[in-house]
Amino acid sequence: MSIPVIIHLLNRRRHRTVKWAAMEFLLKATRESRGKKKLKYLVILTCRALAIAALIFAIARPLVGGFLGWSGGKLDTVILILDRSASMEQLSPSSRESKRASSIASIRKSLAELNSPKLLLIDSASGIIQDIPSPDALEELSATSATDTKASIPSLISTAIDYILDQSPGKTEIWIASDLQLSDWSPEEGRWEAIRTGLNDLPQKTTLRVMSLASAPKDNFAIRVLSSRRSKDNLVLDIEITRSDAEGPASIPITYSINGTRSSDRVTLRGQTYQFQKRLPLGNRDGIGHGFLSIPSDTNSRDNVAFFAYGEDSPSRTFIISEGGESPDWLTLAAAPPGFGRNEATQLSPKNAHKIDWDSASLIIWQSDLPQGTIAEELTRFIDSGGAALMLPPRGEKTTNFMGLSWGEQTTSPDGQYFIIKEWDQADGPLRNGLEGTQVPVTKVKSIIRRDILGEATTLSSWDDDKPFLLRKVIGDGSAIFMSTIPDYTWSNLADADVLLPVVQRMISQGDIRFGSAYAAITGSRKSLAAEGEIRQRIDTHAKSNSSNAEYQAGVWKLGDRIVATNRPKTEDQWQILTEQNLNSLLDGVSYKLFEDKGDSESLAREIWRTFLIAMLVFLITEAILCLQPKPKPKPKPKSNKS
């Protein structure tokens, strides 16, 4: 741009100014028009400078677009974080493609506009970073195909940061294609601060771009098997159906398939969620079996089927570790009440806790000082493998810690008053409502003595002063419930408040999932993967699997000698979306670009070099017009004198 200015200045230096008396009169005569001429020369000089600038921008081939913003220069590497969780199979609002397929098509076209920089893919199912030889291969790769898994966006961003630090790939951009599902982004996780620091501290400038496909689901239904268990000659299924739109009643046909035999019926939804129990006859069939439930396809086919497997009608065993008093008797009655012939309960003192048969246990109830040493390690492994544990406070002051939780101060209510429960989760946990919406009578519980629960965990219920009554700590495939009082009349009326029985029985059912009456796993979890020496074989009749992607697909699988029914995580049926305000909070201090993809599979950027060429021509034509000399005015004809 400085070239025309330099030429102009050099031309001015070639001329010497010589004062000549006769010229003073001419200069004075033209002084009034000099200002206009000077402005004209400045406009001509500006047009010349802008014409050269437009030519240089055209040669640089800049890109512009909502996703890429304004981008120029050579880009060395793009790290693509692709969310291919089950929720990404929701159809885009403006097309009949899934959000996943739409995002891949848009990204492929955009990479072509960028002259195809090096492409690295981190998919949400495997979490592994891999080199993609060509963007044209994206739509054909098994690593970009549909799955029934969840996504952990914080982990995927951390993987990208680690790669940049280790490999120094030059000028790099991190692209995230996601539907911004709240559970996948996990805003409550504490590692977001480390992620923000990591992005800002990268040695070379790295641009973060987020492609949002966060449209709310429409006309979508999801089905899920909450539990499956064999009861004599019947299979008992607890089923949940959820829908995205809760306007008016909806009648849904359901197909049941057990060991290849199919039947069907219809259910009616009148709200957002409907839970019910279905008993299917098994006849005299012994041993293990499997099947699936399905509803008609809608805007997301990945949540229209749920799989299950079951085994022999084996007993559910509960081990009660207690320091004595009334508590163990009430706990035994709740774990193995009359009429529950398949339930067994065994009482042990803390000194005999080593006698627990971990392999056969469904539930461990621990009412004593928190376990330590070898017993604590065994209990942790038991919970991690899918077992359930109910932890109750000891009578004396104890300071031990288990799984990051400990018992705090023992509190006694004022004379003539009780601690009562104010809030509890009616949709999740052991105090959830029944299948027909029946509430557990939690408000009947009155406590005189309780103990604080210290540590970070999920609160499922709280007292009227907001102190926790129930806390849940999840480890692996199982969980532990901490309760702040015990079933002893010197502490509370928990024993006869119609609360202890449903809590214990629901936890037994949860623990049963790890073996015996049900074989279930979350798709992509450790339990769903083939161990060393195991060969994966799909045995249900719902669909064929892609062998290269089988471990990330829901179905019933034979893995060596065991059978596992895998299903999408429950969080994939929770359609809460991360808002832009939440995203700004998570990436506070990080420079990023948010683009809302409309699902049209168009390129996310476009070249605008032609625009600069046109601008150059406009500037040159304008400069040429201004340089034209004005036509001289015709001389007036002399007036003739007529006598």
- pLDDT tens digits, one per residue of 397-453: 777 899 999 999 999 999 889 999 999 999 889 999 886 678 999 999 999 999 999
Tokens of 158: 């951390």
Query: Which pLDDT band, with edges at 50, 70 and 90, does 596 fall under?
Result: confident
Please state, for a pLDDT cut of 70, what percent of the chain lies above it.
88
- Total length of the chain: 643
For residue 27, the tally of other CB atoms under 10 A from its CB is 10
What are phi and psi for residue 139, nearest 5 degrees? -75, -10
- Using one digit for the tens of pLDDT, what is the confidence trace for 195-250? 999 999 998 778 899 998 888 888 899 999 988 877 778 888 989 999 988 788 89
pLDDT number for residue 72: 52
Instruction: Give the per-residue pLDDT at 24.
Output: 66
Block residue for tokens 């001509």:
44
Q: What is the full DSSP assignment across 116-158? A: --EEEEEETTT--EEEES-GGGGGG-GGGS--S----HHHHHH
- Amino acid, single-letter form, for residue 437: G
Only one residue has tokens 């004593």, namely 368
Q: In whole angstroms, give the CA distance from residue 389 to residue 482.
A: 8
- Please give the pLDDT value at position 606: 54
Neighbours of 163 (CB within 10 A): 18
> Where does the pLDDT of residue 639 fall: very low under 50, low under 70, confident under 90, or very high at 90 and above?
low
Q: In this structure, what token pair is assigned to residue 500?
A: 């202890």
At 366, the amino acid letter reads W
The answer, yes or no, to whether residue 32 has pLDDT greater than 60, is no
Q: Can you tell me the distance from the alpha carbon of 103 to that of 52, in angstroms, rounded to the nearest whole number?
A: 38
Query: Using CA of residue 168, residue 173, residue 176, residue 182, what is the dihedral sign?
Result: positive
Q: How far apart are the first and last CA of the chain?
A: 67
Non-local (6+) Cβ contacts of 632 within 8 A are: none
List the structure tokens of 395: 């009578």
Is-contact 89 211, C-beta < 8 A? no
Instruction: State the Cα–Cα distance between residues 212 and 597, nearest whole angstrom.
Output: 6
Dist CA 127 CA 184 (whole Å): 13
Whole-angstrom distance, CA of residue 385 vs CA of residue 372: 19
- β-pair type (172-178, 555-559): unpaired
Domains, the chain: 2-62 (no CATH), 63-216+575-607 (3.40.50.410), 221-312+517-573 (2.60.40.10), 316-512 (3.40.50.880)
Q: How confident is the model at residue 523 (pLDDT cuts 50, 70, 90)?
A: very high
Tokens of 568: 């999408």
Residues 148-159: tens digit of each pLDDT: 999 999 999 999
Does an H or E element contain 236, and which? Answer: strand 234-243
pLDDT above 50 for 70: no
DSSP H or E segment with residue 95:
none
Q: Give the phi and the psi of residue 209 in degrees, each rounded to 5.
A: -125, 135
pTM to 2 decimals?
A: 0.68
Mean pLDDT of 93-115: 84
Give the model's pLDDT for residue 517.
Answer: 42
- The answer to whether 41 touches 5, Cβ cutoff 8 Å, is no
pLDDT at 468 over 90: yes
Residue 172's alpha-carbon distances to 168, 202, 221, in angstroms, are: 9, 11, 40
